[in-house]
């Protein structure tokens, strides 16, 4: 069963810009100015998405002088990946065993 935290992650990643931000942060820690440059989105839009990702526990902040860098946290994505790996395994077992419920 998908927990509410996983539901939050799924909901957040359903947004194309947030998904792009997560992809970019997977490669390196970035500040808002880098994300604006990479995505072409407005600074306020990026900041709002980062706030949502931070509140969900997907990113953490790291102050660096007058800038704030955002770093992706692996644990929420690992939990989500493990859930979908389990789901895929169940589907594979159902598929190979041709499991189906009989109609009344």
Residue for token pair 């499991």 = 99
d(CA 7, CA 17): 18
Q: What percent of the chain has pLDDT over 90?
A: 72
- Beginning with the edge strand found earlier in the chain, give each strand of the sheet holding 59-64 in spatial order: 30-31, 67-72, 59-64
Residue 72 is classified by DSSP as E
At 95 the pLDDT is 85
b/e per residue 2-38 (b: at least 16 CB within 10 A): eeeebebbeebbeeeebeebbebbeeeebbbebbbee
Global pTM? 0.82
d(CA 101, CA 31): 52
Tokens found for residue 85: 């790996």
At 101 the pLDDT is 87
Residue 1 has pLDDT above 50, yes or no: no
């Amino acid at each position: 069963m998908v927990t509410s935290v996983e539901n939050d992650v799924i909901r957040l990643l359903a947004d194309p810009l947030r998904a792009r931000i997560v992809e970019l942060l997977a490669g390196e820690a970035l500040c808002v100015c880098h994300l604006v440059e990479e995505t072409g989105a407005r600074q306020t839009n990026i900041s709002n998405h980062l706030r949502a990702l931070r509140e969900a526990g997907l990113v953490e902040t790291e102050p660096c002088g007058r800038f704030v860098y955002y770093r992706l946290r692996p644990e929420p994505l690992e939990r989500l990946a493990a859930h979908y790996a389990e789901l895929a395994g169940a589907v594979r077992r159902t598929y190979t065993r041709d499991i189906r419920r009989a109609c009344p």
